[in-house]
Chains A and B, each alone.
Chain A
Amino acid sequence: MEIEAARGGGGGGGSGRGAYLVWEDLSVVLPNFSNKGPTKRLLNGLSGFAEPGRIMAIMGPSGSGKSTLLDTLAGRLSRNVVMTGSILFNGKKKRLAYGAVAYVTQEDVLLGTLTVRETITYSAHLRLPSSLTREEIKSIVEGTIMEMGLLDCADRSIEALLVMEEQLFSSVHQPSSEVFALFDDLFLLSGGETVYFGEAKTAVDFFAETGVPCPSRRNPSDHFLRCINSDFDIVTATLKGSQRIRDVPTSSDPLMNLATAEIKARLVEKYRRSKYAHRAKARMQEISAIEEHVNEIKSGSQASWWKQLSTLLRRSSLNMSRDVGYYWLRICIYIVVSICVGTIYFDVGTGYTAIFARAACGGFITGFMTFMSIGGFPSFIEEMKVFYRERLNGYYGVSVFIISNYLSSLPFLAAITLSTGTITYYLVKFRTFRTGFSHYVYFSLNIFLCISVIESLMMVVASLVPNFLMGIITGAGIMGILMMTSGFFRLLPDLPKPFWRYPISFLSYGSWSIQGAYKNDYLGLEFDPMIPGDPRLSGEYVVTNTFGIPIDHSKWWDLAAIVAILVSYRVLFFLILKFKESASPLFQTLYAKRTLHHLDKRASFKKKPSFPSNRHQPLHSLSSQEGLNSPLN
């Protein structure tokens, strides 16, 4: 096949050393512990093989088990199913590690702002060995684009592509004839059973031999799917029920008279005894014998840590700078709101009412304005999705992701801080320009840290609640509570001691930020008294008596406390991601044991045909709905 030649040349792998994959008697069961429902067999005793340099199409109607088979081969089964049978990789029983296979899922989780070429280039940089030169990488990239272009233009319904070193699997729903002609091998599935496995070209003969020849005016792949898609039985039944069938053209369709379930059963039975099955079995044994191709399974990513970091950093920055909704929109809003705040508190002065006005201004900035950081949440969720996919494919580690994300967001956070801080500080005129520069720096640092903390908090939330709406609501709720205990709405000494004062107000970045901000703002100033003629009020008096804030530690310690909170949020985020990864295989093992134990007690499986896999009815997250994917389209 032409594709293989190009790949071999680019990838540096000779055509002889490839990955042979054999699977034997593969069954996947979705157990049902509540004894009400039947146990579902997703795959039922499948055997097959894949050779390097050939493209195999896995075809079948929806719910036939295509995706389950691909998941099984890629070692990606969800943990609520149990697998039996063996998968031999180069003749060895081997669980595929992250990265030995690349798996393109049907959901197309890609960063929307990058072009195709950029996406592929970045992932190449992330995964290919550092020893390759830029030119080599570029040629691989171009090769991949060609390949994908070829498949993409012809038909868009290719759902999942499993690229295994040099062999290509593709699970297809309804290929056009052009696309079908590109496949070498065909694995035809229905209801988890093998209907046909062998060369794609001979499939037509097999169907003819079984008594359901492909009509000349029909595309073979359409015909195969039509024969084994038991949904058509339901359609026919319903149509008959509504008496709509009276006008069906019967001319070219022998199938209308025969139930598909019947045809399918006949095909499955016939295949088992056919020469194609024998041929496949023979070849499988041959391949299993070839043990000399022991190919070192390459670990997920061959690029060095630094290389990964710099590539991710560049990609992430590019994405952030192109996605208007990620930071640009927020910068605009911050500037607008800052101007509003600045003009409302314009030249606040040191009158008696200025005491409260200054406090309210500070409270509004650290409270409400940091709140707006929620606006970047949808974009972050998108990035997390990409991360999960790439992590599963073993592109890079968790720490690289977190560090690169933070570093690439720094310039934007700095821009937000600078614009907000400068506009508000100098419009409100907290201090005069000359004397107050260090106060201005503190003020800006404070804003910067608050926004960073909120960002980190939202990341933690994002890693815990996968749903977009829940994330925003949870985030807003937490922020509301932090705001309430920050000492602005209720003075710190007045907060009820149990719970709200200890520990919540100590864990809240807001209380530290407000303490620091008050000290920064009031200390060293004098204010007019309530009744003219009384002695002027000193800043120290206002901070300690009016706001009840102790001035025993410096404002910089308050800042340090926020930094500590920031770091702990990031660490928490890291731990959650790590825990999620390491916990899932553990659960899987426990689950499998329990299931097998349970299955021993049961005599047989109640079979339920055509179980729809989760993949085809994804629970759409709200963000994937219209208008959310790219917030500004």
Chain B
Amino acid sequence: MTERSTGRNPAADNAVMEIESSKPSGNGLVAGLSPLSETLWRETTSVEIIGDVSARLTWKDLTVMVTLSNGETQTVLEGLTGYAEPGSFTALMGPSGSGKSTLLDALSSRLASNAFLSGSVLLNGRKRKLSFGTAAYVTQDDNLIGTLTVRETISYSARLRLPDKMGRPEKRALVERTIIEMGLQDCADTVIGNWHLRGISGGEKRRVSIAVEILMRPRLLFLDEPTSGLDSASAFFVTQTLRALSRDGRTVIASIHQPSSEVFELFDQLYLLSGGKTVYFGQASEAYEFFSQAGFPCPALRNPSDHFLRCVNSDFDKVKATLKGSMKLRFEESNDPLEKITTAEAIRVLIDSYRSSQYCYAAREKVEQISKVKGNVLDSGGSQASFLMQAFTLTKRSFVNMSRDFGYYWLRLVIYIVVTVCIGTIYLNIGTGYSSILARGSCASFVFGFVTFMSIGGFPSFVEDMKVFQRERLNGHYGVTAFVLSNTFSAMPFLILITFLAGTVCYFMVGLHPGFEHYIFFVLCLYASVTVVESLMMAIASVVPNFLMGIIIGAGIQGIFMLVSGYFRLPNDIPKPVWRYPMSYISFHFWALQGQYQNDLAGLLFDNQTPDQFKIPGEYILENVFQIDTSRSKWIDLSVIFSMIVAYRIIFFIMIKFSEDVTPWIRGYMARRRLQQKNGIQNITVAPDGLTQSPSLRTYATGKKLTR
């Protein structure tokens, strides 16, 4: 531990030295860098010889301000200085609300657009935005596809991102190595698990999330609370793996909430925060001394980390006040200095003594030293797989998921068949009697109205898919187009199966217009309508991420569509403004009914009210009873529905693009204006047009957590 005080990390040194030594040989193996990483880096860097690919991160006088919706600004981080080196594992610690996540966001360029950053964050001495791929960011929530096994999850991810040139066996070998590296070999063939499928444990899930991110061998790894929600053994395991990853010459930074003593012992560097200020930054093992020197020695039989957090958590003041008020706590006479002064005071003392300590001085010096060295520009630019490869892999993964998730399509298939059998028995052998005219109309409207309505049932599964998509999108695994295409293609076989089975049952039991062409039209129309509902729900899901709101809004829209479809109110009777133009033309039910009525009635002869009267031709009914426009071919009606599918998918695409690019820009602009109006500060770097969905952001946006 003593050689650390010279400021160099032995493991990193070794790694760097080995890299240096391997330079001339060119194709020799680089230590700490797998052959794969080597290829990866060579692919993208224009430099001939691979130089030092390690990531040295420094931040100096980092201050982050957040504008709240009421125009107030709040300083979330204040003048932080520190560094993270290759081969070391840095832990950010602090009570909740101390700014751990914000610091992590600031370092990884994921700050919300209403956050303003001043000071400098340098990677290898260069000021540049960390792009996808250079750094990996593992969030707290493990959004994984529940029906895939661990091995499948990792290998699909590998195929999504690794270059096409890389051979299959190589990819497989890399996947296997990652599995072993993360200690997942025992559960490699177990499914991840979801709400109805029992799968791997929470700790294993977390390790899978990390495994997916380290596939591309990033040099810099950010983790937001990787141990939250895990039991002590799993937390220890995860931390141990992180430490091991750092020993390969990577730079690992993690925020950790309440480490147990085993976990704490694995940290190299400790950054202790309270209220956005540095309480301590330095070797984790020396924090103990620092607290003693500052007058807060850790009592015996207590975890150092517990003690540090106890000292800097001002919530304890509140607890004490409450307890005093209720006379519950007889203050025991102890020589614990914390009992004598308030935590707020203790924090002040600690911050002051850190500022004047050798640790602070050493850190600043080290930051200067590192930032002077202009290292290589690290940029691997996210996924290296081609668009086709991405789309193909995603389609395959999505198909596997759909076929394994019972709730996605299988449940619907069962329900569709049950419902169509019900319809079939109710309208059994409908015939061409007088009463069958209306019955045929209502049968078609029930099929296209309520049966398609039930497609909503797949919404929960789709929302799960969206979550995975959002995580992977944020980490740059693939683009929106690939996702939309893959979802369309993978769902197709299931939808065809469902609608053909259900349509066939319905068609033959009811005895609709005979003729193969009529049968095909009916089934195709059903398929198109169900797919439109799916696409509509997709578009809704991109706007309202909440599950229940999505279902309610989807149901409402479909209800209105149904109302103006021409069955509940005849087309000519629908009030012209709004409802007839444009609503009924937007409604896919309208087109489906226009087509299906023609398909079903045209060419048939129906009995009149009394047998002695003339028979009524179907065309007459179409025009006079149902008010259908017979001048338009039913196939045109069908093609309108198909084009609606495309339209909704495009809307979905645009909505996602919009929320990714435009919304953050607007929010940032608004926040900047508010700030300028308030106090006219000019020299502030606005957070780069980063991503909005980082987990710690919402709290600032609403300003809930920080009102202390």
Contact = CB atoms under 8 A, between A and B. Distances in A.
Contacts of A368: 559, 562
A2 B426 contact: no
Given A469-B407, A485-B426, A490-B426, A627 B548 contact: yes
B419 interface: yes
B330 A2 contact: yes
A515 B330 CA distance: 74
B597 to A, nearest CB: 15
Contacts of A253: 262, 265
5 contacts: A3-B328, A231-B231, A469-B460, A490-B426, A622-B460
A147 B304 CA distance: 27
A570 interface: no
Interface string A97-109: 0000000000000
A231 B233 contact: yes
Given A235-B237, A495-B426, A344 B569 contact: yes
A485 B195 CA distance: 35
The 9 closest A-B pairs by CB, nearest first: A231-B233, A631-B548, A244-B244, A360-B568, A238-B183, A219-B303, A489-B442, A153-B319, A235-B237
Interface string B296-319: 001011111010001000011011
Contacts of B241: 244
- For B201, B301, B326, B407, the residue with the greatest tally of chain A CB atoms inside 10 Å of its CB is B301
* Prevailing SS type, chain A contact patch: helix
Nearest to A178: B310
A62 B203 CA distance: 13
B439 A344 contact: no
Interface in A606-622: 617, 619-622
Given A177-B303, A333-B552, A62 B237 contact: no
B189 to A, nearest CB: 15
Given A146-B328, A216-B301, A336-B556, A61 B548 contact: no
A484 B422 contact: yes
Contact of B419 (A143, A149, A337, A477): A477
Given A146-B323, A153-B318, A344-B574, 8 more contacts: A218-B302, A226-B260, A235-B240, A249-B265, A333-B556, A344-B568, A357-B573, A476-B454
A2 B460 CA distance: 49
A625 interface: yes
Given A222-B303, A337-B559, A360 B569 contact: yes
- For A214, A253, A353, A480, the residue with the greatest tally of chain B CB atoms inside 10 Å of its CB is A480
Interface string B249-283: 00000000010111001100000000000000000
A329 interface: yes
A614 to B, nearest CB: 11
Nearest to B556: A333
Interface in A58-79: 61-62
B232 A225 contact: yes
A372 B556 CA distance: 9
A146 B306 contact: no
A466 B435 CA distance: 43
Contact of A235 (B233, B303, B426, B427): B233
Contact of B328 (A6, A214, A333, A500): A6
Interface string A145-178: 0110110011000000000000000000110111
- For A242, A247, A361, A481, the residue with the greatest tally of chain B CB atoms inside 10 Å of its CB is A242
B328 A150 contact: yes
Contacts of A394: none
Nearest to B423: A484
Interface of A: 2-3, 6, 61-62, 142-143, 146-147, 149-150, 153-154, 173-174, 176-178, 204, 214-220, 222-223, 225-226, 229, 231-232, 234-235, 238-239, 241-242, 244, 247-249, 252-253, 325, 329, 333, 336-337, 340-341, 343-346, 353, 356-357, 360-361, 363-364, 368, 371-372, 375, 378, 467, 469, 472-473, 476-477, 480-481, 483-485, 488-491, 494-496, 499-500, 617, 619-622, 625-628, 631-633
Interface in B565-595: 567-570, 573-575, 578-579
A244 B233 contact: no
B549 interface: yes
Interface in B140-186: 141, 180-183, 185-186
Given A484-B426, A489-B442, A252 B265 contact: yes
Contacts, number: 240
A150 B415 CA distance: 51
A249 B266 contact: yes
Interface in B533-547: 545-547
B133 to A, nearest CB: 25
Contacts of B318: 153
Contacts of A216: 300-301
Interface of B: 11, 141, 180-183, 185-186, 195-196, 198, 201, 231-234, 236-237, 240-241, 243-244, 247, 258, 260-262, 265-266, 288, 298, 300-304, 306, 310, 315-316, 318-319, 322-323, 326, 328-330, 407, 411, 415, 418-419, 422-423, 425-428, 435, 438-439, 442-443, 445-446, 450, 454, 457, 460, 463, 545-549, 551-552, 555-556, 559-560, 562-564, 567-570, 573-575, 578-579
A249 B548 CA distance: 49
Nearest to B427: A490
B164 to A, nearest CB: 29
B183 A61 contact: no
Given A231-B231, A622-B460, A617 B198 contact: yes
Contact of B262 (A177, A226, A477): A226
B570 A357 contact: yes
Contacts of B265: 249, 252-253
A75 to B, nearest CB: 27
A376 to B, nearest CB: 10
Contacts of B422: 480-481, 484
A176 B258 contact: yes
A625 B463 CA distance: 12
Nearest to B299: A177
Contacts of A143: 326
Given A217-B298, A344-B564, A357 B426 contact: no
B258 A238 contact: no
A204 B301 contact: yes
Given A235-B237, A631-B549, A500 B425 contact: yes
A149 B262 CA distance: 29
Contacts of A617: 198, 201
Contacts of B326: 6, 142-143, 146
Given A219-B306, A337-B559, A473-B411, A480 B450 contact: yes
A204 to B, nearest CB: 7
Nearest to A483: B450
B547 A242 contact: no
Contacts of B428: 496
A226 B232 contact: yes
Contact of B546 (A142, A219, A242, A627): A627
Contacts of A476: 454, 457
Contact of B319 (A149, A337, A469, A496): A149
A232 B181 CA distance: 18
A632 B546 CA distance: 7
Given A217-B261, A343-B578, A621 B195 contact: yes
